[in-house]
């Protein structure tokens, strides 16, 4: 992504903050065992302001009147370490390629912090994330207050910068939307492959691997979250990630997966029959969920609220539960009493962006916030009939979720995932070619965008 995008975000953040110093920090590397680490992903807030994705990084933004300063603390170049684990930008790269006004070795951060904080009115620091780090920052502030007779003072106020940044992140810019479109296109390819690769007797894990195989070879280097591939009753576990059961003939298969691209996440769910054809009852249940998906998507537009979108989907789901015989009574009172909760226990969706469950408020002062152009929300109604005594017998083992990613536009909405079939006839048509994927698979290694582009 162009460097100017990150510079523009820093400019917007600096404009929104009051005079003071803002510090953003990368996540630590998480050891797995021995010399092995869990795959590293830096903090989304830090990345969105810097484009810098290495560990042991601190970004400092300083604002004093008209003066602005952008300082990066990074791991220095280290030929020996780089031989083992790969290239680093280093201090030179932080200045040259990432637009920092000043850059230092991250080991110097606490040596330089007192000077950065001296006589600054306030510090912006995300707290509650790395308490040892926050503790050291607090001690540096306290030490400065002890220098009052020399005319020195540290900031009196500490403000969480997420109060600014998360509002910014809620509204996606053109470059965010472009990345999301690509992440969705890659994810759609993964789902189509799964629908054309599945066959009864296969293991859920193998099918999940087909999805992720398509993600990888189409330029996504990691999943936005652990792939959920759940056959039959496993689909009633919302975040089922064991993916180790055999897919039986007659099962519905629920896949919920997303490719991450350039630190932006897609998130799609589809449910389809393992053998390519819905049974009559599966189809009936499925079409209620699809109707709820359509109703909630149709409700997405600027000015409406998250709560109204949820209600639009929920009402249809409850109608479905009555029709399917899972609930008895009037839809309105079933909604009010929450009687549907054994079968639909989550909200209609969530903000989507750099994080799959993206940041940003849903309610302000207790009121559901209105949707605005540039927000991206998932719409993911579901019905889950666990294999449990309380579930009507014939419905047991049916779990359905249909999830799309929806951009709020000037006048309405754009479904970023509409290239992926969800009508029964369209799914069955795609699956008529079942098994074709295995024969047709050829190397692609073609990124969605012609040029992968520099990531900063
Ligand atoms: Mn989701």
Q: Which tens digits make up the pLDDT trace of 133-161?
A: 999 999 999 999 888 899 888 899 999 99
Give yes or no: residues 176 and 241 share one domain: yes
Residues 253 and 401 in one domain: yes
Q: Is the pLDDT of residue 294 over 60?
A: yes
pLDDT tens profile 221-277: 999 999 999 999 999 999 999 999 999 999 999 999 999 999 999 999 999 999 999
Residue 76 CA to ligand 1 centre (angstroms)? 38
Quick one: 411 exposed, middle or buried, by C-beta within 10 A (0-12, 13-18, 19+)? exposed
Same domain, 239 and 319: yes
Q: Are residues 198 and 124 in the same domain?
A: no
Asked if residue 59 lies in contact with residue 124, where contact means CB atoms within 8 angstroms, the answer is no
Expressed in angstroms and rounded, the spacing between residue 338 Cα and the centre of ligand 1 is 22
Q: Is 350 exposed, middle or buried (0-12, 13-18, 19+ CB in 10 A)?
A: buried
451 pLDDT exceeds 60? Answer: no
In which band, very low, low, confident or very high, does the pLDDT at 455 lie, cut at 50, 70 and 90?
Answer: very low
164 with 175, same domain: the answer is no
Q: Are 239 and 136 in a shared domain?
A: no
456 domain residue, yes or no: no
Active site residue 38: no
Q: Is 221 a catalytic residue?
A: no
Q: Is residue 448 part of a domain?
A: no
Q: What's residue 295's pLDDT?
A: 98
Residue 403 among the catalytic residues: yes
Total domains present in the chain? 2
Task: Pick the last residue of a domain from 126, 143, 168.
Answer: 168
Distance in Å, CA 166 to ligand 1 centroid: 19
Strands 36-37, 102-105: parallel, antiparallel or unpaired by DSSP? Answer: unpaired
Q: What is the pLDDT of residue 152?
A: 87
Is 41 marked active-site? no
Over pLDDT 70: what percentage of the chain?
97
Same-domain check for residues 109 and 11: yes
Question: Which regions of 154-250 does DSSP assign to beta strands (E)?
Answer: 157-159, 222-223, 228-231
Of 122, 150, 168, the last residue of a domain is: 168
Active-site residue flag, 239: yes
310 is catalytic: no
Q: Which domain holds residue 126?
A: 3-168
Last residue of a domain, one of 168, 201, 230: 168
List the one residue out of 292, 312, 215 whose CA is nearest residue 255. 215
In a domain, 196, yes or no: yes
Q: Which residue among 204, 251, 403, 405 is the active-site one? A: 403
- Give yes or no: residues 288 and 336 share one domain: yes
- Same domain? For 46 and 81 the reply is yes
Q: Are residues 159 and 184 in the same domain?
A: no
- Say if 310 falls within a structural domain: yes
Residue 92 scores a pLDDT above 50: yes
Note whether 244 and 292 are same-domain residues: yes
Residue 456 annotated as catalytic: no
| CATH for 203 | 3.90.230.10
Which residues are placed with Cβ below 5 angstroms of ligand 1, an ion?
A: 267, 378
């Amino acid at each position: 992504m162009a460097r100017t995008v990150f510079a523009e975000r820093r400019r917007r953040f600096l404009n929104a903050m009051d005079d003071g110093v803002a510090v953003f920090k990368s996540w630590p590397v998480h050891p797995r065992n021995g010399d092995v680490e869990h795959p590293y992903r830096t903090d989304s807030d830090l990345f969105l302001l810097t484009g810098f994705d290495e560990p042991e990084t601190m970004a400092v933004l300083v604002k004093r009147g008209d003066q602005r300063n952008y300082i990066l603390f990074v791991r220095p170049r280290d030929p020996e370490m780089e031989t083992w684990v790969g290239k680093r930008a280093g201090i030179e790269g932080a200045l040259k390629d990432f637009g920092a006004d000043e850059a230092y070795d991250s080991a110097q951060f606490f040596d330089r912090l007192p000077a950065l904080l001296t006589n600054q009115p306030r510090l912006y620091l995300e707290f509650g994330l790395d308490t040892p780090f926050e503790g050291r920052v607090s001690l540096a502030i306290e030490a400065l207050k002890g220098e009052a007779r020399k005319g020195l003072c540290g900031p009196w106020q500490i403000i969480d910068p997420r109060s600014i940044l998360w509002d910014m992140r809620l509204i996606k810019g053109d470059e965010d939307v472009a990345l999301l479109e690509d992440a969705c296109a890659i994810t759609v390819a993964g789902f189509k492959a799964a629908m054309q690769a599945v066959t009864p007797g296969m293991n859920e894990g193998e099918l999940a691997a087909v999805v992720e195989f398509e993600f990888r070879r189409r330029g996504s280097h990691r999943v936005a979250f652990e792939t959920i591939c759940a056959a039959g009753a496993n689909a009633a576990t919302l975040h089922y990630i064991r993916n180790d059961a055999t897919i039986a003939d007659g099962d519905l298969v629920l896949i919920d997966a997303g490719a991450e691209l350039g630190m932006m996440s897609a998130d799609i769910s589809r449910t389809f029959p393992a053998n390519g054809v819905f049974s009559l009852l599966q189809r009936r249940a499925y079409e209620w969920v699809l109707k709820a998906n359509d109703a909630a998507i149709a409700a997405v537009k600027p000015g409406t609220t998250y709560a109204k979108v949820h209600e639009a989907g929920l009402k249809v789901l409850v109608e479905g539960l009555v029709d399917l015989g899972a609930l008895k009574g009037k839809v309105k009172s079933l909604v009010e009493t929450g009687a549907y909760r054994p079968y639909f226990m989550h909200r209609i969706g969530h903000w989507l962006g750099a994080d799959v469950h993206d940041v940003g408020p849903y309610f302000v002062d207790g009121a559901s916030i209105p949707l605005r152009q540039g927000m991206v929300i998932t719409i993911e109604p579901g019905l889950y009939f666990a294999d449990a005594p309380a579930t009507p017998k014939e419905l047991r083992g049916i779990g359905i979720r249909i999830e799309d990613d929806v951009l709020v536009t000037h006048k309405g909405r754009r479904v970023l995932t509409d290239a992926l079939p969800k009508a029964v006839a369209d799914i069955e048509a795609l699956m008529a070619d079942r098994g074709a994927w295995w024969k047709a698979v050829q190397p692609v290694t073609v990124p969605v965008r012609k040029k992968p582009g520099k990531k900063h």
